[in-house]
Structures are given as structure tokens and as C-alpha cells.
Structure 1
């Protein structure tokens, strides 16, 4: 059995559901697409994309010694349709991936175990592992490695997994045979484009992050534009709409990692409870969660927008209590929510 075949077996035994290999220079077309995205200003406040574009568009610049990139996918498929949560405006809607442990930590530990196995196979083998925390274009690389294709919503799709999965990368000095790149299979379907509440897709296969709810609730700091606040609905961290409606999800595999299963307190949490969090209570409640990284102020801002969209006058006192908050953005969101509820 070849080293690549044994490596695949090792990866699958660690809980990964899909495996593929590509060369570090397999995505030359990404450079132009990334530059067009940046030139149009569609990255919004994510200045790190501009600062690290050389590495992001060219993996060989990130680590010249790498000869192969192993791409791996791990499912986090929800146990119910997340679109159902939109029917409860007085409750918060948190993106499926963020309802329990931080996937960065869990996936990275698995990648390191697979990488250590590879190191043990031959003298002088080197690796670097990445999980969405470095200037690595995981989705184009995964497509080049045959794991799937980037759909019209720009996320990765797979015939075998749908689109509910995390990606991880192992860069290595080992020369492994590359897999055949995946072919796009979206056809004439527009479900992901049409469902977007903020029209964040200027065209199929293009995303304007400045209008994306995931960007607005996580990456964007400061007040959200008034014309977009109502469109956030009860989404207080991320958005799953374009993922949830994809027909390829009929092939989605169940998540094997129990720590991806939603915590009970993060499935439709009460907005009144969340808006009252101070910094200490916020950090305690979201310890070990990816939500923790956006901080109390940005999170409470999102909750206040949801309160303003809730049409629930019972939440008016909760919003009024924050109209003089020390954080100007929180105070602005509270005043907007009060005005809406009145």
C-alpha cells in the first residue's frame, strides 16, 4: 500500500470524512480572483486579506519547501434545519458551527495527529497544519485536491458531504501524488443566491462580504448600516441560509464529533438573557466557543439589532437599559432597537 493510501486511512480513522492532495501551485487562477475581490473593496474591514494577499494567493510563498498539500474535511452537519430558527424572532439565531466548541481547536488537534503519523514514516519529513487561521485559501485548495467545488455561494460543496463541513490543511515536504480537481456541479440552481436576505452575491460565484450577515455579525466592528439592520433578523452570530438551502445537503453525513452538537443554551437563546451580559459574564458563557473572539460589545450590538427586529415590546426595557452604554456602538444599537419597538 502506498504512503498516500496509508495516510488516507490514518486521516479517516481520525474522523475526517474526505481526503485529497494537490500541489502548492495548483490554484494560480486564485491570484486574479482575489485581486479583483480586493480592488472592488468587497473585503470590507478585513484588511488582513490585502496585507497577506501574496501568501493567500500563492501557497508556495507561504512555505517554499512544501511539495504537497493534504486537504481534509470533517462534517458538522446540524440535526435539524437551521432555517426553522428564523421563525422565532424573540430568540437568538446562532450559526450552526458556533453552537458548541471552537472547531479550530478540534480540527487542528486531529490534523496534528495525522501529521505526526506522517512524520514518523520517513526521516526528515516536515509538516505545517492550518485551520482557517493563516493566509491559506482552503476552499480553492480543497477543490484542486478533489474534495468538492466552490458553489455559487463561494463555499465548498461535495457530492458526498453537501456543504456542512470544516476544512483543514497539512502542508508537507513529502511528494504525494495529487488528486484530480473536482468539477463544478451547481447547474442552473440559484437557491443559495435567492435566499440571501442582504443580496450579498453580486453574481454567481461572487461574494460581497460587506453585505454578508456572517461578516457583519462577526468581522465588522462599529455600527452596521441602517439599511442592513432589519435584514439581520434574529441572526446574532453568523448566518447559515445559503448553506441550509443547498440541494446537495441530501448527501450530508452526520457529524461524528459530539462536541459539534449544539449546546442547549445556544439553540434559540433568550435575547433578554444575552443582552444583559457584561464582559465577565460574556467570557464565562462563551468560554471555549468561537463566539468569544468577537467580544461582549460586538455580540451585544448584534443582540440589540435582533431585539429591534423582534417586534416584542416585552424586550423594550432591556434595550432601554443600554441606551447609555459605555460602548458607543452598543448605545447606538440600543437606541435603534428602542425606536423600532416603540
Structure 2
């Protein structure tokens, strides 16, 4: 470490740089074994609540202990980058006839955006610290990003299992730097969900089986993004008008009504992805799919997957013309 800078000063400097780079939050936690999370994850996997996302069974030891993922790791630095656009809540409320894509996928692929910023933050920290070993992650390795965001004080785990921030709501992406430097660590914040059950009550597939527990195999996002097989027929009418992802549990959350808007232009919704009618999506061809979703999360489901989703919601009340 720079001899003229102690860990409190280093922490403050890295947090300030994260803010300058456009992150709405930056928190610090000591790297180590996530005992409680490991127990919950094991129970969740054994119950089959990951559906056919078999990759979640892999690298269990690394998933619950970042020191096994990054040898020599001492700290996990978590960052928060918001994609919140208050006007989209109003637009979607009055635009239920059109087929819908989750708000997180209306801008540029967050993997690219956050990694660009995190690499800059890593180099800044390395220079300030007089050297740094570690890695950056954006939903790209077995890292329990939500658990680390909570441990570093960025927010609390909501009943829908998304992290909620008092300032940013829950419409944000998370990224991490797992490094060998020591910082002044943050403390978790308190839970502010209270007695509210709006997310649980609103879920059309009953995927939120109880507060703080989601059966991933019943989630609309699972059906429309992760599942490679045909969507079970008994769930078609519960998909509403969602053809990629789902925002229902976040749309009804009071904290998103109070959240400050995001500031990163690359994450904001592209106009050409808004207001497309049902006919446009049904006539979508492969060439247009590739053009429209280049560097966009929707490409994850692939062209055939998106057409499958469109066919599955055909005839649903909210998807009718």
C-alpha cells in the first residue's frame, strides 16, 4: 500500500472513484466463506428450485467462498449501477396491450457496460495501492453477487430475493472486484420491507413461495430466458404479455417508486425497443433480431427462443390487440 495512505483513506478514494465512474453505490466486505448462504443454497438446489439451470450446481465451493475462486483474496468490493427510468413505470402501466421485455434488457448489455467501468476502477485501485491482484466479475462466474452486495451494505435482500437500496430501489446491476488488498469494511444495512407482501401477492406463477425464497423453476424470467425446452402449457396464460424476463415483482415494489433515476446512458432504454405492437414481434425475422439485439441481453434467449415466447403468450388477454 502507498505508505502515505491508510486503509480508511484507500477505501474512501476507491469509493469516490466508483462514484465518478457512474456507480450509484460501492461497498466493501471481507472475503470469506458464506456459511448461511451456503446452507440456503444447498437446500434450494436439493429442492430442485433451480429447474434446468444445472450450471448452478457447478463449482459450489467457489460459489460460497471467493477465496477459492480468487486465491489470496482478502476483500470483495461490490458496485451498484442503476438502470432505473421512472417514466418506464408509467409507460408500462398504460401500455399493457403491447408485448413486453424486462426493463433491464432495453438498453445495452450490462455485462459490457459494468465491466468497462470495473476495469477502470481496478486499474485505479491498483495504482493507488501500489499493486493489486484479483479479478472483476459481472454475472460471469460463480459469485453470489446479491449476498456480497448485502454484506457490503449496498442494500438488503427483499422478499422477492432482489437486493433493494433505499436510494436506488432494486432496478440495478451488480458487479464485483475480488482482490488481495484490505479495506475499511462496511456493515450490512437493515431490512426495510416491513410487513409489505406486494411482490408475493403480485407474482402470477406463485414463484415467490414465501418471503425471501423464490422457486426459480416457476419464474417467468426462467421460462422466457433460461429454459431451452418448450414452456409448459399450463403456464402460458400466466406469462401475461412478457416475452423476455419479467418485472412484476419490481414494478409493485414501493421502493422503486421512490428510487432515483439511473445515470448511465448506455443502460437506458432504446426508443426502438419501446412501444412495438404485437404484430411487429410476431413478424420479427432473424435478420431484424440480430440487428435489434446486437450487444443486448435479449440475444441470450436466441431467435428461436424469443419466437417460442411470442407464440406462448399469443391469445393472452394482456397480449391481445
TM-score of the two chains, using structure 1 as the length reference:
0.87
Are the aligned partners of 1:94 and 1:268 in contact in 2 as well (CA < 8 Å)?
no
- The structure 2 residue matched to 1:47, chosen from 43, 54, 73, is 54
Are the aligned partners of 2:108 and 2:267 in contact in 1 as well (CA < 8 Å)?
yes
CA drift of 1:186 comes to 1.2
- The structure 1 residue matched to 2:284, chosen from 267, 277, 282, is 277
Q: 1:304 to 1:146 in 2, by over 3 A?
A: same
Higher relative contact order (CA 8 A, sep 6+): 2
Q: 1:203 to 1:83 in 2, by over 3 A?
A: farther
Q: 2-side partners of 1:287 and 1:312: how far apart?
A: 25
Matches within 5 A, 1:201-220: 201-220=208-227
- Secondary structure class of the residue paired with 1:233: coil
Are the aligned partners of 1:20 and 1:147 in contact in 2 as well (CA < 8 Å)?
yes
User: 1:260 matched to which residue of 2?
Assistant: 267
CA drift of 1:26 comes to 6.0
- In structure 1, runs of 5+ residues without a counterpart are 315-342
Q: 2-side partners of 1:89 and 1:181: how far apart?
A: 38
CA drift of 1:124 comes to 3.3
Are the aligned partners of 1:27 and 1:141 in contact in 2 as well (CA < 8 Å)?
no
Are the aligned partners of 1:101 and 1:259 in contact in 2 as well (CA < 8 Å)?
yes
CA drift of 1:311 comes to 7.8
User: 1:5 matched to which residue of 2?
Assistant: 12
Q: How big is the alpha-carbon RMSD for the aligned residues of Structure 1 and Structure 2?
A: 1.8
CA drift of 1:139 comes to 0.5
CA drift of 1:84 comes to 5.3
User: 1:335 matched to which residue of 2?
Assistant: none
CA drift of 1:251 comes to 3.4
Are the aligned partners of 1:82 and 1:96 in contact in 2 as well (CA < 8 Å)?
no
Q: 1-side partners of 2:96 and 2:199: how far apart?
A: 22
Q: 2-side partners of 1:81 and 1:261: how far apart?
A: 10
User: 2:240 matched to which residue of 1?
Assistant: 233
CA drift of 1:87 comes to 5.7
Matches within 5 A, 1:148-297: 148-297=155-304
TM-score of the two chains, using structure 2 as the length reference:
0.92
May I ask how many residue pairs the two structures share in their alignment? Answer: 314
Q: Is residue 25 of structure 1 aligned with residue 32 of structure 2?
A: yes
Q: 1:313 to 1:176 in 2, by over 3 A?
A: closer
